[in-house]
Structure 1
Amino acid sequence: MKDFFKFMLRFAAPYKWNIVISVIFNLLTAFLTLFSFAFIMPILRMLFGLDTQEYQYMAFEWGNFVGCITNNFNYYVSKMIVDLGASPTLLFLCGSLTVMTLFKVLSAYTSEWFTIPMQNGVTRDIRNSMYFKIVSLPIGFFTNEKKGDIMARMSGDVAEVQSSVMSSIFSLVKYPILIISYLVAMIAISWELTLFVFIMLPMIGTLLGVVGRKLKQQNLQGQERFGSILSNIEETIGGLRIVKAFNAEKQMERNFSAETQDLYRIHNSMSRRYALAHPMSEFLGTLAVAIILWFGGTIILSGSESIDASSFIYFMVIFYSLINPAKELSKTSYTIQKGMAAMERIDKILGAVNPIQDPAAPRNLPEDRGKSSVSFRDVSFSYDGERDVLSHIDLEVKPGKTVAIVGQSGSGKSTLVDLIPRFWDVKRGEILVDGINVKNLRVKDLRSLMGNVNQEAILFNDTIFNNIAFGDKSATQEEVEAAARIANAHDFIMHTENGYQTVIGDRGCRLSGGQRQRISIARAILKNPSILILDEATSALDTESERLVQDALEKLMKDRTTIVIAHRLSTIVNADMICVLQDGKIVETGTHSELIGLGGIYSRLVDMQQV
């Protein structure tokens, strides 16, 4: 339960007044419940002649407040029986009991009414916190995590927290108050019997706690397996073309069946253990009642004056009423254990550390900076801290110039450009933008300088307008259309069903590859970046689409500092400088004609593409 209270301090603090109001109404509910029990006993004794005592009105004394209330209640009931008769008195008292019960249930409902916004609010806050954290985390975090597992944590684990932990909050507010109120009343009736109850309850709680701790461990295994299943589904759908092309359907079915079988086994064990909670608590409760009956009956039969028969009956009524809250509280303990297992998985995301941070004293970019420059000074980088992907990179990209990066796959081209916007941080050396180390700039300011066009156009299931204006809430229709015209996209956009308001589907699936890429270019044009990064922007296109995209890129690149990664060397022959990467090192630099004249690696790459 320690983890649960830490959780409550983190997420329930904004809803403290909901808890306070709920506690107040639960106290009122407990008082009305106890009063209704006390209300019934003397009625039955006097109506049926079990109580022959004559009562006199007693003046109120704070030292004997309860005794005065009880005596005067009995006085008025006995007077009513004499004046009106037993039957009308019974009718009046039953009506009073009904009204009291109405107030009790209204009080109980009001208590829950105030906890519901807290339950749903905390769930919303957790889901928002996870999403905000995921958006803020660096790209490196997701290279070690399965996409499906992250989705499982945001969906299944949050749902588990809502159904397990948050739904238990009302029980944790209500039942302890009822239990404490009942125990106080029981102590007032007979402290000896209550002491006996106190001795038994810890033993019962210990037995139930053992089962609950095991349940948390199993639920953690189940949530992890569920995340693995979601990852499997996501990979299968994403790679369905390959699965079918290689006749691997049966293999994928076997893998999936093995994972679902593990989840089936875990859920069986969890459900059986959870199902044990009710019969186990019911048996232990009945056992406790039997022991109390024996112990209390022995005291009465022995002739002791510490408790009489009617008080013992009232004691047993209260104790039996205590059993149900105690059982529900024990079930709540089981439920919370399940939810805290899901919370552990959520905390792996919420507790993740983002190494890409703004500096304590960030520098500001000059407002009239004009064209930007980019400099690499003895930069080395490693993903795992052991093998360098880039080694001793020295590179100067002058303002307004175009530098092309070429090399075989795995040479470090994409890693090199990812270091500029701080998707990763360099381990050794430094990168300067306009003469300022990128680590001394705010991340937001640094990335505001840059526009990216990647090999795979990353679009969203939204309208064409919103995809082009992505990240710019102030963009007007005229500005979006102007950017689309420069990107050679306006004509095909106007031929779509709803023009710029056409929804393009998941990842732009309703558009061709060339159309998606031109939308991506239009987005970069609208941003009007000082530094442009093109990562193999035309490598996946056919010849006609490549011509249209290349023309759009040339318009975009004009008078901008541009870094281009390209496999098709024909697209970078006019670059101001070409750098050849091999095994993470720059091995050749120069213009296209200079590198051809060297007869080195670049020349061989050109020859291979011309074959």
Structure 2
Amino acid sequence: MTDSINSKTSTAAAPSTPSESRELKKGSLAAFKGLMPFLRPYRAQFAMAGVALVVAAGATLAIPAAFKQMIDLGFGASAGVRSIQHVNLVFLALFGVATILALATAARFYTVSWLGERVTADIRSAVYRHVVTQSPEFFETTQTGEVLSRITTDTTLIQAVVGTSISMALRNVLLFLGGLAMLFVTSVKLSSIIIGLLILTVLPIVMFGRRVRKLSRDSQDRIADASAVAGEILNAMPTVQAFTHEKIETERFGASVEGAFVTAMKRIRARAMLTALAIVLVFGTIVFVLWLGAHAVLDGAMTGGDLGQFILYASIVAGAIGALSEVMGEAQRAAGATERLLELMSVKSQIQSPAHPVALPPRAANGASLTLADVTFNYPSRPDTAALAHLSLDIKPGETVAVVGPSGAGKTTLFQLFLRFYDPQLGAIKLDGVDIRQLDLHTLRDAIGIVPQDTVIFSTDAMENIRYGRAGATDAEVIQAAKLAAAHEFIERLPNGYQSFLGERGVRLSGGQRQRIAIARALLKNPPLLLLDEATSALDAESERLVQGALEAAMQGRTTVIIAHRLATVQRADRIIVMEDGKIVETGTHASLVALGGIYANLAALQFHHVHSVHAAT
């Protein structure tokens, strides 16, 4: 229990959603420090890329020196065999340098591209792995489209940095430093002047770069907003079309996309201005210094070869600075993406497995016991309203307990607490005598099978949809579970039987068929505790009869808790719990509760009177 309390205390300070953690600001490129855990495993590959990078930069820096030799000793000497031979040697050397440069550049490109793809794949997997462990509270406040944008768009920007920008930055830093050193070797006076002027030009570029970074972050946020709108609309397309809101939703998405475009254009304009500013300032400085160099040659203070070498090295330095400004712009944009991803990774679920989990006792032949001791729970989004208030309940192994009551009474909340999607603020829930907060989450949830009211069907075939209940089940076990759930016959009638693709979200199945798939999934899991949330609500009378018989057989040897609005499905429960406003107000069998004349009796009178009226009318 202490571990649980400490865990809650430590995670309370952590941002619970990306939107909240968006307020956490990081300085400039410091966000890239968060990528180090993803980069460390590939130190050897980075070293290989570094070697190729140094070789390529060295080859590039050797070219101006070769040109100096060619100008001074080839063209500057008196014409003759010696000068012709020297020119030939210089050009052979240039070709050799170019070959080394080509091989080193190819090796660098391959290695850093591999690193970009590999690291990006690792980041995507890590972010997705982190997201799927979040509690329902996270998904109540975070749009799915925003998460998808961070996993796809943001990681693509990081891929560009790892796979291209880092390499380009290091290459140009080497060229800048090497070119700068060679400039001083060639002419200390001209180099001193050019360095002083370049320092003055860098300051406005850095200041302007901060604005680009902020706009890049805003642009990524607007793209995420547009993705969130699109995801919401596409997931609700039948409702959109049923209410003829296609035009309205198209306009809403269009407005979101337009907002993203306007923000992107601000970023692009800022980037364009930054690039123009860098080129004008840097090359203006170089042109001025070269003008001084031309006068030095005319005055005999330096040779033509020296000036040619100085011009080439100055071009290399200028090109390196221009490339670095371009890379800096990309890096600023990726820094915003990195911040967004790290924010997502920093979100901590309030529901965690304990550091030292307790094992469940061996499974009993007749199921599990379930105890609620003075449980009080408020949803995080509604902290002032108690969904459950001082609830106590003791369910014996093998017992079938039905929970009924009006909407909002707290029935579904019970199931969410049993599965530990949330923890109660007060009280404890025990499974086979063990507080569920002391259990590993997988151990707890492996012991529970659930048939939800809203069935989830995955975009795969019928066999795999049922096998979702137990990943290692054989085909024969899957088919047996389908038979128990009265799903075998309609699956066999599908075009490819159990190998039939069921469509996204099961669009090729009726509501009753989807429900029977979910029941088969739960039966295949074979848990000691079975939770049925309106398990027969979507079935017609014949299917309900078949499934009810299957469920009664499945309830043998396990504890079952049933939520039902249709009281006909719970009449044979061992005990019926009536809830209202998060409290248990009545307990008993169907007969005793009808005789009591309370809430259950009123519900029963309304439902059964309606059924009799329908039968009389037909």
Does TM, scored on the shorter chain, surpass 0.5? yes
Matched, 1:335 2:330: yes
Deviations 1:231-279 (A, max 9, x none): 2222223333333333434433332332222122112212222233433
Question: Compared with structure 1, are the counterparts of its residues 90 and 234 closer, same or farther at alpha carbon in structure 2 (3 Å cutoff)?
Answer: same
Shift of 1:296: 4.5
* Counterpart selection for 2:376 from 377, 380, 384: 380
Q: CA RMSD in A?
A: 2.2
Shift of 1:303: 7.5
- Mapping 1:124-273, distance limit 5 Å: 124-163=121-160, 166-273=163-270
Shift of 1:10: 3.0
Give 2:559's aligned residue.
561
Give 1:442's aligned residue.
440
Contact 1:379 1:391 in 2 (8 A): yes
* Counterpart selection for 1:94 from 75, 78, 91: 91
In 2, distance between residues paired with 1:351 and 1:447?
25
In 2, distance between residues paired with 1:118 and 1:379?
51
Question: Compared with structure 1, are the counterparts of its residues 201 and 537 closer, same or farther at alpha carbon in structure 2 (3 Å cutoff)?
Answer: farther
Question: Compared with structure 1, are the counterparts of its residues 149 and 5 closer, same or farther at alpha carbon in structure 2 (3 Å cutoff)?
Answer: closer
Shift of 1:200: 2.8
Contact 2:145 2:231 in 1 (8 A): yes
Opposite residue 42 of structure 1, the aligned amino acid is Q
Give 1:24's aligned residue.
51
Q: Which deviates further from its counterpart, 570-579 or 465-474?
A: 465-474
Deviations 1:136-175 (A, max 9, x none): 1112210111122222222222223324564312212311
SS in 2 for 1:419: helix
Contact 1:379 1:393 in 2 (8 A): yes
Give 2:4's aligned residue.
none
Give 1:521's aligned residue.
519
Deviations 1:194-252 (A, max 9, x none): 33333333333332223322222222222222222222222223333333333434433
Deviations 1:505-527 (A, max 9, x none): 11222222222211111111111
Give 1:459's aligned residue.
457
- Give the length in aligned residue pairs: 579
Give 2:316's aligned residue.
321
In 2, distance between residues paired with 1:411 and 1:45?
94
Q: Which has the higher contact order (CA 8 A, sep 6+)?
A: 2
Give 1:408's aligned residue.
406
SS in 1 for 2:384: coil
Q: Which deviates further from its counterpart, 449-458 or 190-199?
A: 190-199
In 1, distance between residues paired with 2:286 and 2:480?
82
SS in 1 for 2:350: coil
In 2, distance between residues paired with 1:5 and 1:146?
25
Shift of 1:120: 0.7
Question: Compared with structure 1, are the counterparts of its residues 229 and 548 closer, same or farther at alpha carbon in structure 2 (3 Å cutoff)?
Answer: farther
In 2, distance between residues paired with 1:408 and 1:317?
83
Deviations 1:364-386 (A, max 9, x none): 11235442100000001111233
Shift of 1:596: 0.9
Question: Compared with structure 1, are the counterparts of its residues 154 and 471 closer, same or farther at alpha carbon in structure 2 (3 Å cutoff)?
Answer: farther
Opposite residue 243 of structure 1, the aligned amino acid is V
- Mapping 1:284-295, distance limit 5 Å: 284-295=281-292
* Counterpart selection for 2:346 from 348, 351, 370: 351
SS in 1 for 2:407: coil
- Mapping 1:26-41, distance limit 5 Å: 26-41=53-68
Matched, 1:46 2:73: yes
Contact 1:164 1:338 in 2 (8 A): no
SS in 2 for 1:475: coil
Shift of 1:391: 0.7
Contact 1:580 1:586 in 2 (8 A): yes
Shift of 1:308: 5.4
In 2, distance between residues paired with 1:150 and 1:292?
52
SS in 1 for 2:362: coil
In 2, distance between residues paired with 1:115 and 1:520?
47
SS in 2 for 1:564: strand
Opposite residue 381 of structure 1, the aligned amino acid is F
Shift of 1:298: 6.5
**Structure 2 unaligned blocks of 5 or more:** 1-27, 611-618
Q: Which deviates further from its counterpart, 424-433 or 481-490?
A: 481-490
**Structure 1 unaligned blocks of 5 or more:** 53-80
Give 1:367's aligned residue.
362
- Mapping 1:406-555, distance limit 5 Å: 406-470=404-468, 472-555=470-553
Shift of 1:413: 1.0
In 1, distance between residues paired with 2:235 and 2:447?
33
Question: Compared with structure 1, are the counterparts of its residues 219 and 548 closer, same or farther at alpha carbon in structure 2 (3 Å cutoff)?
Answer: farther
Question: Compared with structure 1, are the counterparts of its residues 13 and 498 closer, same or farther at alpha carbon in structure 2 (3 Å cutoff)?
Answer: same
Opposite residue 405 of structure 2, the aligned amino acid is G
SS in 1 for 2:207: helix
In 2, distance between residues paired with 1:213 and 1:543?
67
Question: Compared with structure 1, are the counterparts of its residues 194 and 472 closer, same or farther at alpha carbon in structure 2 (3 Å cutoff)?
Answer: farther
Matched, 1:116 2:143: no
In 2, distance between residues paired with 1:317 and 1:363?
71
Question: Compared with structure 1, are the counterparts of its residues 97 and 439 closer, same or farther at alpha carbon in structure 2 (3 Å cutoff)?
Answer: same
Question: Compared with structure 1, are the counterparts of its residues 548 and 223 closer, same or farther at alpha carbon in structure 2 (3 Å cutoff)?
Answer: farther
SS in 2 for 1:580: strand
Contact 2:459 2:504 in 1 (8 A): yes
* Counterpart selection for 1:107 from 98, 104, 108: 104
Question: Compared with structure 1, are the counterparts of its residues 134 and 585 closer, same or farther at alpha carbon in structure 2 (3 Å cutoff)?
Answer: same
In 2, distance between residues paired with 1:86 and 1:120?
50
Q: How does the TM-score come out when normalised to structure 2? A: 0.89
Q: Which deviates further from its counterpart, 269-278 or 506-515?
A: 269-278
